[in-house]
Amino acid sequence: TTRADMVQAVLEGVAFAIRDSVEVARSLGITVHTSKICGGGARSPLWKRIFANVLNTELEVPVSEQGPGMGGAMLAMVACGEYDSVRSCCRKLCAVTSTVKPEPELAARYEARYRQFRKIYPAVKNLFPNIQ
């Protein structure tokens, strides 16, 4: 196993964990057509590509890297009456610099790997507390 293999495994593992959250949303009838990606990891073209393909969803990269902080500030602006709704605030302040689209061939490969991940993780989860 090379360092590159280990780095890719970590990136894919995080993407699969986020995919689990997306699957919960989907099970509740929520359709996710696009999503945003921001922060330090969003600077990596590789990670953005992995995420887009694991999620099989377009990812928009906002101008601001400050996702959670900016979101909190936007909610405060709405609460203080600066904007009449979160939607109007977003329209004004949420510009997108680029979009990463899933690639059908890679998305299909990641779909198969995700299905494997969903089987493996529960099988080994109980072993984690015993590892020291």
Structure confidence at residue 87 (pLDDT): 92
In the block, tokens 């203080």 appear at 80
Q: What is the mean pLDDT of residues 41-58?
A: 93
Q: Say how far apart CA 59 and CA 51 lie, in whole Å.
A: 8
User: What Cα–Cα distance (Å) separates residue 76 from each residue in 37, 87, 88?
Assistant: 22, 13, 13
> Tens digit of pLDDT for each residue in 20-45?
999 999 999 999 889 989 888 888 99
Structure confidence at residue 24 (pLDDT): 95
Structure confidence at residue 122 (pLDDT): 87
> Tens digit of pLDDT for each residue in 64-105?
877 788 889 999 999 999 999 999 998 898 889 999 999 999
Structure confidence at residue 14 (pLDDT): 93
Q: Say how far apart CA 87 and CA 78 lie, in whole Å.
A: 10
